[in-house]
Structure 1
């Protein structure tokens, strides 16, 4: 059956609420990039303190995504989706009224929990419908999901800049309330209801693996604390984090359904490599989204609105590339093309300065739209074919966990290269680091034997 006919089971009405809900995390992740400067002024925050607004969301999402994915597998994706949307609305209200940076970080943490239910729930629904109809991976439908996420990721700085310039930085939190309400209405009307399920609190505790979540959370928090304070290293956090990571592994090996399934990662090498690859690609993307925006406002002295507009070519290219990746028959080409795009972008960044022509500044960032657009769609397809069918929700959530760890690394790297304030030398150093990572991804992916060969149609 042709791909377009197979995807008819995932019609517009069905895909739209899933795609809209999946945009909530990307748009909230990147809208704040152009608001970091005015937030810093409002609360007298340093670069490192601003970093907690970035890392706090991703830390929470890294923990919540697999948890929400497991809940979607167990109790129904539609139910989990609607609960998540309610949390998004509450987080929007808290953020809009935040009287301090600490409360603002708290709202981002709550937002991370709420937005974490959308993507694994959507993947669970896709897989259930695909298995029901005996379909191959619905790449067009997943391409629409990816396009929505990528478009909002890439257009986030533009939207954030316009909202901040017109209504102040509070607007980037307030906008979540109507978005969550609209998505909840569409999900209620258009997404098929879950099968009737009953579950006790004891089963919830047993299946979700709360001890595993706690171990993973402490290990990641300690690691992030070390990375976010590299200018004054808290050395004790490094061995403490290592001890908890060992605890995560030991606990995982003893439990039949662990939060982080170490056995699955060890046995399923293709899936593990997919996770590590998206972590590195997303580290590059978030370095650009946050670092480039801060440099534009602090070093090149553009307004928040202008900074958002300068990223428009990157946003457009990202959207185009996400659609192109959905039409490719294999996986290697999108990943290799993404690495090449990253290399070209890094080369361009090494030549920009605060007084560079605006067209050159926009062109330098534009090439990063290639990895932003292509890696998401290709990774979704890789997860679909590599993960066990019964654990697709959990696997999709774990994919986002690795992506958010990449974002945390990006926030830490920005703190190192920018110091107290973004500068030309800082953006050049950032370009060199990202260029080395892009080169590694290009060479490794080109020779990666774990990627499926041939067409996935």
Structure 2
């Protein structure tokens, strides 16, 4: 088999593994009612099945990325897929809801290995296929988008035909397929760190990892108000752990996250900031629009799902076009054009303050898919170019965490704006906030420049 064919199959395996995280993030939503009935839960308790996955994914991605950098992305990817397969094979036999939440957290940890590992392997795969890095990154991005889009549809079918247990079981063959494809066709890991267990643990900056992970968990729980009445305590604890984390990383010889080096890497910091802002705008629409269409327009939930599909479909169509544009014109131009289109799409959403006509909604969701595809792949490529090769794993993990931070930020603000009612007037206020965020994102895109090799 030729090298390009092997590289293509390896990218397919990585894309399959990468899609499992967004797939499982979205398809669980349709199982909440069934889980409530089976385990006799209230609404607040059942949402922990989502919260556990969300928090573990956001906190675990940078750690998985660092492990990929240190011990090899292929090895870590296969270990993560094995964890997903085993966990999902056992989860349907959970005796109570606590075990379901634990299984969701372990699944999140396993799927969190995929994207950072894929980014670390992109360079080797691009050389093997004799292509640019934008091609494999584009395919991985399409897998992410497709996974999130088909999640509710797949989840609805599985729950209606089998039950909530099928949401776990479907992951077993998918994870095993990704594992075996990558094992067979991905290039072997280069020599990584070796030594005794004691030495490896000593050099792993365990206190720094614990401070980072604990701070992220407390921050996300506070933002999500996971423990009502303790929000400010959780946020205060997150701030304290952030200070301890910074002190540890600045004083330790081999830090988990080199804050000095990160601080000097302006392009990478701008990629992170821009992606947080972009994610916040995108999830304003992705989370806020379905609520508006259901509660203010009176559309059935199934119809709303169909009205949102053009967003994902257009994103999948645009991504390969954006890849070619990046190869011709560079990352920065595509990023700037994408942010301009994001601003246009956000402004067009104002039309929903006047009408909920089906054709209008379909046109607007399709329009929103254009900047999602273009800005996402440009940001992915900007990350790849801005991060040092030896740190691309942890850089990719932090990049994914930025997506979660933006999504959670949007969720919090949607709760504020919809607090006194889901209506067109409040939607108009949300559009104004989206436009303000777009303006800041545009400035960040203008400031970004490709990182010069040292």
Counterpart CA distance in 2 for 1:35 and 1:284 is 27
Tell me the secondary structure at the aligned position of residue 258 of structure 1: coil
Counterpart CA distance in 1 for 2:82 and 2:426 is 40
Give runs of aligned pairs for residues 331-342 of structure 1, distance below 5 A. Answer: 331-342=331-342
1:220 equivalent in structure 2: 216
Deviation at 1:98, TM superposition (A): 5.6
1:81 equivalent in structure 2: 77
Select 1:270's aligned residue among 255, 267, 271: 267
> Structure 1 residues 409 and 35, CA, compared in 2 at 3 Å: closer, same or farther?
farther
1:238 equivalent in structure 2: 235
> Structure 1 residues 9 and 250, CA, compared in 2 at 3 Å: closer, same or farther?
farther
1:189 equivalent in structure 2: 184
1:27 equivalent in structure 2: 23
* Cα deviation digits, residues 351-406 of structure 1 (max 9, x gap): 43798233323333222212321222212211222111221222222211222222
Q: Structure 2 unaligned segments of length 5 or more: list them.
A: none
1:452 equivalent in structure 2: 450
Counterpart CA distance in 1 for 2:283 and 2:135 is 26
1:4 equivalent in structure 2: none
The answer on 1:253 being equivalent to 2:253 is no
The answer on 1:151 being equivalent to 2:149 is no
2:353–2:428 Cα contact (<8 Å) kept: no
* Cα deviation digits, residues 297-335 of structure 1 (max 9, x gap): 565555554333222211111112211221123122332
Name which of structure 1's ranges 201-210 and 177-186 shifts more when overlaid on structure 2. Answer: 201-210
Q: Structure 1 unaligned segments of length 5 or more: list them.
A: 1-6
* Cα deviation digits, residues 153-189 of structure 1 (max 9, x gap): 3343444445455555554333212211221221222
Deviation at 1:49, TM superposition (A): 5.8
1:290 equivalent in structure 2: 287
Tell me the secondary structure at the aligned position of residue 397 of structure 1: helix
> Structure 1 residues 191 and 303, CA, compared in 2 at 3 Å: closer, same or farther?
farther
Deviation at 1:249, TM superposition (A): 1.0
| Alignment TM-score, normalising by the size of structure 1 | 0.84
Counterpart CA distance in 2 for 1:300 and 1:37 is 23
> Structure 1 residues 427 and 180, CA, compared in 2 at 3 Å: closer, same or farther?
farther
Give runs of aligned pairs for residues 66-145 of structure 1, distance below 5 A. Answer: 66-93=62-89, 96=92, 102-129=98-125, 137-145=132-140
Counterpart CA distance in 1 for 2:358 and 2:169 is 31
| Alignment TM-score, normalising by the size of structure 2 | 0.84
> Structure 1 residues 159 and 134, CA, compared in 2 at 3 Å: closer, same or farther?
closer
Tell me the secondary structure at the aligned position of residue 403 of structure 1: helix
> Structure 1 residues 420 and 94, CA, compared in 2 at 3 Å: closer, same or farther?
farther
* Cα deviation digits, residues 46-78 of structure 1 (max 9, x gap): 4x6676554433321222212212222222212
Aligned length: 446
Deviation at 1:94, TM superposition (A): 5.8
1:343–1:438 Cα contact (<8 Å) kept: yes
Tell me the secondary structure at the aligned position of residue 356 of structure 1: coil
Counterpart CA distance in 2 for 1:74 and 1:378 is 26
> Structure 1 residues 16 and 235, CA, compared in 2 at 3 Å: closer, same or farther?
closer
* Cα deviation digits, residues 232-284 of structure 1 (max 9, x gap): 57333333322221111111101233223211221101111111111221223
2:18–2:144 Cα contact (<8 Å) kept: yes
Counterpart CA distance in 2 for 1:207 and 1:152 is 36
1:357 equivalent in structure 2: 357
Counterpart CA distance in 2 for 1:140 and 1:23 is 17
1:389 equivalent in structure 2: 389
2:7–2:186 Cα contact (<8 Å) kept: no
Counterpart CA distance in 2 for 1:411 and 1:50 is 18
The answer on 1:58 being equivalent to 2:50 is no
> Structure 1 residues 45 and 415, CA, compared in 2 at 3 Å: closer, same or farther?
farther
1:15–1:141 Cα contact (<8 Å) kept: yes
Counterpart CA distance in 1 for 2:217 and 2:377 is 29
Deviation at 1:115, TM superposition (A): 0.7
Q: Which structure has the higher relative contact order (CA within 8 Å, separation 6+)?
A: 1
Counterpart CA distance in 2 for 1:143 and 1:318 is 11
Name which of structure 1's ranges 135-144 and 309-318 shifts more when overlaid on structure 2. Answer: 135-144
> Structure 1 residues 36 and 293, CA, compared in 2 at 3 Å: closer, same or farther?
farther
1:309 equivalent in structure 2: 306
> Structure 1 residues 200 and 397, CA, compared in 2 at 3 Å: closer, same or farther?
farther
2:276 equivalent in structure 1: 279
Counterpart CA distance in 2 for 1:286 and 1:49 is 24
1:345–1:366 Cα contact (<8 Å) kept: no
